[in-house]
Structure 1
Amino acid sequence: MNVFAQTNKVAIEAIERNYQDCLSEGSDHYNCAVQYYAQMDSLLNTVYHQLYENLDTIRRHSLELSQQQWKEKRENYFKEIDVRVEKKRPMTLAGLDDDMIVTDNKAAFLRRRVMELISKQS
């Protein structure tokens, strides 16, 4: 495994550890999830650019296409999950639990993409 891949896996572990620590504090889980999402999104951008910079022109183009397809899937998934939650919201307790769960699911979606890109760095 190369240095980029190893460093990025360590970064994922640190982000997840911080998220779990925040959740275990027992208050404001929604903001924990928002922070987790933001950190995972930032890592996704970093990993993408690291990978992009180390590819030749043909493989860069392939990565760009792959990323565009992934962004479309992300947009569809995020819309779908938002609609599902809004339909269920009248049946759930008031509060930010639904929003926390949605944000957590969105962050997990980003995490999967980060892991895909890391596997391409190896």
Structure 2
Amino acid sequence: MIKTSVLLFFMVFAFNCNAQNIETVNKVKSSYQKCLNSGSGMKNCSIEYYNQSDSLLNVAYKNLKLKLSSKEQSKLKKEQLDWLKKRDLYFEKIYADTKKEGHFIEGSSDFDMVIFDEKANYVFSRVKEIIKRI
């Protein structure tokens, strides 16, 4: 847990210092794939992946906001609130669809891994959108 927190701190710091580029997102995805390839703790890999996507989204959002006028900041805030509503609906849909497909038992590690993976990928799409605007 401490190792993960330290890694996340350095990733967020690097993300902040390196003018937030898509390369940072790709590094997180690469690290995630290496974690999955290890074959152990895959559910934890996907949870960490999601947490990293959320952290990077917060950093990118704050950095974009700093570059905007107050009027543009208000517009960005509304846009982000709308996106959060869509995100929540999408997350509900992924859960329902994954449950409905029946490939994984609800609540199992595999089920949770798929859910967190899908959630992270959705959030990373938003991160990339924001980065392009910085």
Q: TM-score range by the shorter chain?
A: 0.7 to 0.9
Which AA in structure 2 matches 1:30? K
The normalised TM-score by structure 1 is 0.86
The residue aligned with 1:26 is 39
What is the count of residue pairs matched by the alignment? 118
Percentage of identical aligned residues: 33
Contact 2:104–2:110 under 8 Å retained in 1: no
2:124 partner letter: R
The structure-2 alpha-carbon separation of the partners of 1:10 and 1:46, relative to structure 1 and needing over 3 Å to count, comes to: same
Structure 2: tracts of 5 or more residues without a match: 1-15
Q: Cα RMSD between the aligned structures?
A: 2.1
Which whole-Å deviations, capped at 9, do the CAs of 1:59-89 have from their partners, x for residues lacking one? 1111111101100000100111112223344
Distance 1:82 1:93, change over 3 A: closer
Q: Verify the 8 A CA contact 2:57 2:123 in the aligned structure 1.
A: yes
1:50 — aligned with what?
63
| Structure with more contact order per residue of length (Cα contacts < 8 Å, sep ≥ 6) | 1
Where do residues 18-97 of structure 1 align in structure 2 (5 Å cutoff)?
18-89=31-102, 92=104, 95-97=108-110
Q: Distance in 2 between matches of 1:7 and 1:70?
A: 20
- For the Cα contact (< 8 Å) 1:47–1:114, is it kept in 2? yes
- What is the TM-score of this pair, normalised by structure 2? 0.79
Name the structure 1 match of 2:23. 10
Q: Distance in 1 between matches of 2:124 and 2:72?
A: 22
Please give the alpha-carbon distance, in whole angstroms, between the structure 2 residues aligned to 1:62 and 1:5: 26
> Structure 1: 5+ residue runs without aligned partners?
none
Task: State which of 97, 114, 128 in structure 2 corresponds to 1:101.
Answer: 114
Structure 1 segments of 4+ aligned residues over 6 angstroms from their partners: none
